[in-house]
Chain A
Amino acid sequence: MTSLRRASEEDRDHEGHDETDMHNVFEIVDFSTATDWEKVTAEFERAFRAWKLHTLDSKAVKPHNVRATEPIEAKLAGRKYRVSFKTTARAAPRPVSSEMLRRLDASFHGEAPGVMRWALATNFDFDPDAHVIQARLGIPEFVVLEPAETTYGDKISVSESKMLLSALVTAAANVGMDIPVFTQVFEARSKQFFGHCAGLGWSITYDGVQLPVVPKANAHIQGLLTLFHSKLTHLTSHVKAYVSVKFTYSVRNWMLDWARSSPGSIEGKPAEQRYHAPVRLPVGALGESLDCLYLACAWPHFREDVLLDDSLHSELTPTTAPSWWLSVERRKKRPRCKLERMLRNFMELCHTTATFKELLGSSAYVDEDEDTPDLGRNALRALTKPQPGSGIADDVVKAGRTLGARFGTVVGQTVRHVRTARTSDSGDGSALESKEIDDILGHMFIHQDDWSEKHAAAWLMDRCKTAPKQGLLHRLATYMACVDTYSGGLESVATLWSEFVMEIRWHWENLKPLPRMPNRAAPDMTSCLLQQKLELINTCIKRKKDRQASRSSETTDQGASKREGGGGRDDHHNHNHDDDDDDDDDDDDGDDDEFFVCPEDEEGVKKRLQDLKRRAAENPEQFAAREETMAKPLGVKEVHPTLVLLDSDAPLNIPRTQEPGPLTEDMVTRQLAQMAEMGDSEQAAALRAQMQSTSLRSDMEAFKAANPGCKLGDFIRWHSPKDWVKDEETGETGLSERMRDPKNLWHALWRDALPVPVSQQRLLFDVTAEAEGALTYLENITMQDLARQLFPSLLEEVYARLQDEVKEEASPASLAVLHASLKHLSSRLGHNLDEDIDRYEDIIARFAEVEHELSVFSSLVRQLGPNQIPLCEQLLNDGRCLVLEESHRDAVLRVFASFANENDLPRPERREFIFRAIADQGAYRMYASLQDHSFDIAGAFTAPQLV
């Protein structure tokens, strides 16, 4: 003990400690504060009793299952301290050798006190998660005093500490407990404590020392053993101590793994190549995530004479140490990640209220302006033609780009304002070049081999409005985000969007269906409005194209007599319905634009003829009679398989009908609002029914044309079969009760309906007006509105990108689970993501977490090698892992050796030792930690018998 304390005094002298010997601890009574001291002692006593520490049986084999206790605060000489009882319920102590434990018990004539048994225990050896007192001294439960206020530092001087310890010891003796008590000494970070525990006829003193250098004499096991043995009070040279050893190695300053760009991504490419291939979003951390990789080589315990380690020679070879622990320490603050940065930049777009016209200057949309050459749309036409190297196409492209470049220069104030607000690390600033725009538009509009209808299903966010997976808008979202972060920010985003809109317009004007669009009758209102608008435009393109196709085939095929209607006669009048309004603003096709055109397919005609023949064969007279008397049916799609007209035996013909025009959500909302405004009076209801009956009227007219001489009953049997009922009593069939009233709207509509086949009906859906309306919407959208609608699609793309990464890296199940949780997270988002905009922040953070974990994992894999996946997985999940197998050890060894530029493990950063022994007096334990600039000793020594 003396030598120990002296070391401490030498160390601390410069700090002005004038400390007495440890042996005198109990004699210190400063009478000037006697009352304070007594008060604080009484307070401790009260706490011990409240915690019921006196009831704990220290000899119990296992630590007690004590209820969690609240620390108390006590004051002495104007300073506040916190006293807490710490306990860790664990298994019984595992001694270094059971023989030792037996001898210890024997020296107590029965069972040794718990604290002595724990001094021999290995349970907490070198455990990084245990309290420092547990790890060094092996005690599972104890009372510890620390400063409660740290405003003026957390240092406790030696005399202060000893006085407090004496109060704790006295209180412990007063309540009659044998739980060890400790007081901190020096700063908390020095991890030094004084401690004491006493029972009937025995006591243990816990003491420690810290030096800034390792004394030469103590730099090895031999030297430390000498120190340890000197603490055994009696002459016990025959006593053999047990030694446990742990060497720690560390690797800091990783190679800057994160700085590598993700393969195939656009990072680090020259501008003209960035978008040459379809982009893969860059993934990974933008900074270092890991602080340190540790390797701990440990020898659990051996008798002191088994391995030699002295100043001349050492038999401790870490490479063959029985246990190897690898552990990793992460940075406290996670670095930003690439996808995260991209998403956050995109968030800024979600808050940019300017319209694109404002962003690009008013001359951006030039389609109507005759003075400006029609360059934008020519651009894609050139692209669509797969004629690389064609000089003309190139010229057109260049011309188109001149326009694009012009947009860039007229960018308004808003752009600059937003751009200056960006942080410096928010991405690459070089603006989008025309070649890049061509590449991007090409990826969106031309190459679409990876798109198929089945992708259209919603997947990640089934509750919020998004667009079909990998569809056109997903592409747009991806490229917009890329351009935003990597190619010039808002300015380039605005340019890209205006080019996008021009391409859409080009597709419409040239009747080219939009690529990457699901093929459905009406827009899905669970999609974002933008998607609905594009689908509407696409429907317009298709319908108009179909019409033109059928019209041109009519003009070329003069035998068109069979095309329309029945009876093989040409009933295609095609006279101009040039009635009221002239809404023909469409110059490139005919006047009959607003009439329905229905190409009769060959199959249908054949089938119909067969049907007629069959019926004629079944009932020749009637059929013939009917054929002669009736007008010719027009606009027949097919013959009803079973039904026959009520007033004749003519087959019931199913007419061609007009599909009502698809409606986008905003249109429907407007209609509903209009209706709501009308109120719920009877007249209003009638008016509403009128308003909504255009399609029904069209059906009725088509039906009348297809079935000359038909009645409402015929129409009902086809259109609403449930309203054709059989009277149970009379057995007669007829209109249902609700249909029977001649006053109801159905009757009125029927009376007014003229026999007009759809080919001569006015269109229910004006493709030109609708397409122009939708294009106007695209042209007038604000950045904010656009970005908010695209954000869910972008999230889906990011989600998919992360998924790829999860697969690619053969990454652990835990990452897959983490990734899957993102789906869960986003499926909780409601329809109106727009209003949930603040929740994006949270979602981005969760996505970033996954991205970061992936990056940590891949970083580990790159360090340890692709064959060490299981190790990396454990390191990722638990922060440490045991390295047992030779091959794993080799891999780990290589990492540590290479960082030290050696072939073997470098010099350990830290060496720790635990010595344990028993002598007649009881158990002894000493912990030592040796580092370049610190020498740390803590010990549990049985004191001389007090009695």
Chain B
Amino acid sequence: MGDVDAELKILIIGDSNCGKSCLLMRFTDDTFDEHMGPTIGVDFKNKMLTLNGQQVKLTVWDTAGQDRFKTLTASYYRGAHGVILVYDVTRRATFEHIIPWLNEANVYCDDNVVKMLVANKIDEPRQVSTDEGRALAREKNMLFIECSAKTKVGVQQAFEELAQQVLDTPELYQSPSSGAGVDVSSSSSGQLNGDVCGC
């Protein structure tokens, strides 16, 4: 803990089977496991990142996209700094479901939580174009990135970009509501805020 400058809580949400768990695995372990079953309930992984010389600990929570497992989700949003909304470019329906997912996030999250729209499986033939994804992200005030958990493209950038954006949003730190495992000491947050503005 001593060398951690900031701890961020990130959530991944989106329909079942669009690759949320694979994205997380790729990010934390740099592996792609096609045999990992559908997520049951919620799970999380930790990962250290170095951003602008700061040690940032990400706790990334992954949820089941299946409705039958959705009981835990509401308070799982609590204290989140960033939310990743994933859709699968090979299945249009998953893109169309982004709006309900976003609404849910808006109900339970702080106003200034950073949201990122992620288009996954771009290694496969698509049903959703880049422009459509970008347009939705712009309209709803989200970051946007396309990636593939399988080929690695864009995954690291997605998480780093999101973390960076969170660090650039000082309100997220000043908010007194801190959920489980999220704690930024006031001195380090001050430092953070000072450091990131240059980039």
Which residues in A have some Cβ–Cβ distance to B below 8 Å?
Answer: 463, 522, 525-526, 660, 663, 665, 668-669, 671-673, 675-676, 680, 685, 688-689, 691-693, 695-696, 699, 719-720, 722-723, 736-741, 743-746, 830-832, 835
Q: Contacts of A832 on B, CB cut-off 8 Å? A: 176-177
Stretch touching chain A among B38-46, B131-139, B161-169: B38-46
A-B contact pairs, 20 of them (CB 8 A): A463-B111, A525-B74, A663-B71, A668-B74, A669-B78, A669-B180, A672-B72, A672-B180, A680-B44, A688-B42, A689-B43, A695-B68, A696-B69, A720-B16, A736-B17, A737-B34, A744-B35, A746-B37, A831-B177, A835-B176
In the bound complex, CA of A673 to CA of B59 (Å)? 13
Q: Contacts of A835 on B, CB cut-off 8 Å? A: 176-177
Q: Contacts of B175 on A, CB cut-off 8 Å? A: 830
Is A668 touching B45 in the complex (CB atoms < 8 A)?
Answer: no
Q: Contacts of A522 on B, CB cut-off 8 Å? A: 71
Query: Count of chain B residues with Cβ under 8 Å from any Cβ of A?
Result: 34
Min C-beta distance of B33 to chain A, whole Å:
8
Q: Contacts of B17 on A, CB cut-off 8 Å? A: 722-723, 736, 738
**Residue in B38, B45, B180 whose beta carbon sits within 8 Å of that of A738 in the complex:** B38
In the bound complex, CA of A725 to CA of B174 (Å)? 47
**Residue in B42, B59, B75, B108 whose beta carbon sits within 8 Å of that of A692 in the complex:** B42
Min C-beta distance of A15 to chain B, whole Å:
61
Is A668 touching B180 in the complex (CB atoms < 8 A)?
Answer: no
Interface set, chain B 1-51, CB cutoff 8 A to A: 16-17, 34-46
Min C-beta distance of A667 to chain B, whole Å:
9
In the bound complex, CA of A723 to CA of B68 (Å)? 15
Q: Contacts of A660 on B, CB cut-off 8 Å? A: 71
Looking across the interface, which residue of chain B has its beta carbon closest to that of A716?
Answer: B38
In the bound complex, CA of A668 to CA of B111 (Å)? 22
In the bound complex, CA of A665 to CA of B16 (Å)? 24
Is B107 touching A719 in the complex (CB atoms < 8 A)?
Answer: no
Most chain A beta-carbon neighbours within 10 Å: one of B16, B40, B42, B46: B40
Closest 5 CB pairs of A and B: A692-B41, A741-B35, A744-B37, A525-B74, A668-B75
Give how many A-B residue pairs fall within 8 Å (CB-CB).
102
Is B72 touching A680 in the complex (CB atoms < 8 A)?
Answer: no
Interface set, chain B 145-188, CB cutoff 8 A to A: 175-177, 180-181
Task: Give chain A's interface secondary structure class.
Answer: helix
Task: Give chain B's interface secondary structure class.
Answer: loop
List 4 additional contacts besides A463-B111, A691-B41; criterion CB under 8 Å: A676-B180, A680-B45, A693-B41, A746-B38
In the bound complex, CA of A125 to CA of B39 (Å)? 81
In the bound complex, CA of A672 to CA of B180 (Å)? 8
Q: Contacts of B71 on A, CB cut-off 8 Å? A: 522, 660, 663, 668, 695
Looking across the interface, which residue of chain A has its beta carbon closest to that of B28?
Answer: A680
Which residues in B have some Cβ–Cβ distance to A below 8 Å?
Answer: 16-17, 34-46, 59, 66, 68-69, 71-72, 74-76, 78, 107-108, 110-111, 175-177, 180-181
Q: Contacts of A669 on B, CB cut-off 8 Å? A: 75, 78, 180
Q: Contacts of B46 on A, CB cut-off 8 Å? A: 680
**Residue in B38, B69, B74, B78 whose beta carbon sits within 8 Å of that of A739 in the complex:** B38
* A676-B180, A689-B43, A832-B177 known; A665 vs B74 contact (CB < 8 Å): yes
In the bound complex, CA of A566 to CA of B157 (Å)? 55
Most chain A beta-carbon neighbours within 10 Å: one of B35, B41, B108: B41
Min C-beta distance of B7 to chain A, whole Å:
11
Is A526 touching B180 in the complex (CB atoms < 8 A)?
Answer: no
In the bound complex, CA of A641 to CA of B181 (Å)? 46
**Residue in A671, A688, A723, A740 whose beta carbon sits within 8 Å of that of B38 in the complex:** A723
Min C-beta distance of A192 to chain B, whole Å:
56
Q: Contacts of B34 on A, CB cut-off 8 Å? A: 737-738
Is A830 touching B110 in the complex (CB atoms < 8 A)?
Answer: yes
In the bound complex, CA of A263 to CA of B36 (Å)? 68
Most chain B beta-carbon neighbours within 10 Å: one of A692, A699, A723, A835: A692
In the bound complex, CA of A747 to CA of B59 (Å)? 29
Is B40 touching A696 in the complex (CB atoms < 8 A)?
Answer: yes
In the bound complex, CA of A526 to CA of B177 (Å)? 15
In the bound complex, CA of A738 to CA of B40 (Å)? 13
In the bound complex, CA of A526 to CA of B109 (Å)? 10
Is B38 touching A673 in the complex (CB atoms < 8 A)?
Answer: no
Is B38 touching A665 in the complex (CB atoms < 8 A)?
Answer: no
Is B40 touching A685 in the complex (CB atoms < 8 A)?
Answer: no
Min C-beta distance of B17 to chain A, whole Å:
5
* A525-B108, A688-B41 known; A738 vs B36 contact (CB < 8 Å): yes
* A722-B17, A835-B177 known; A692 vs B68 contact (CB < 8 Å): no
Min C-beta distance of B20 to chain A, whole Å:
12
Min C-beta distance of B92 to chain A, whole Å:
13
* A720-B66, A739-B37, A746-B37 known; A676 vs B176 contact (CB < 8 Å): no
In the bound complex, CA of A737 to CA of B40 (Å)? 17
In the bound complex, CA of A680 to CA of B45 (Å)? 5
Q: Contacts of B43 on A, CB cut-off 8 Å? A: 675, 685, 688-689
**Residue in A463, A526, A663, A719 whose beta carbon sits within 8 Å of that of B68 in the complex:** A719
Q: Contacts of A676 on B, CB cut-off 8 Å? A: 44, 59, 180-181
Q: Contacts of B111 on A, CB cut-off 8 Å? A: 463, 830
**Residue in B35, B74, B107 whose beta carbon sits within 8 Å of that of A743 in the complex:** B35
Looking across the interface, which residue of chain A has its beta carbon closest to that of B35?
Answer: A741
Most chain A beta-carbon neighbours within 10 Å: one of B38, B74, B107: B38
Min C-beta distance of A561 to chain B, whole Å:
31
Is B72 touching A668 in the complex (CB atoms < 8 A)?
Answer: yes
Q: Contacts of B76 on A, CB cut-off 8 Å? A: 668, 672
Min C-beta distance of A255 to chain B, whole Å:
48
Q: Contacts of A663 on B, CB cut-off 8 Å? A: 71-72
In the bound complex, CA of A691 to CA of B43 (Å)? 11
Is A665 touching B75 in the complex (CB atoms < 8 A)?
Answer: yes
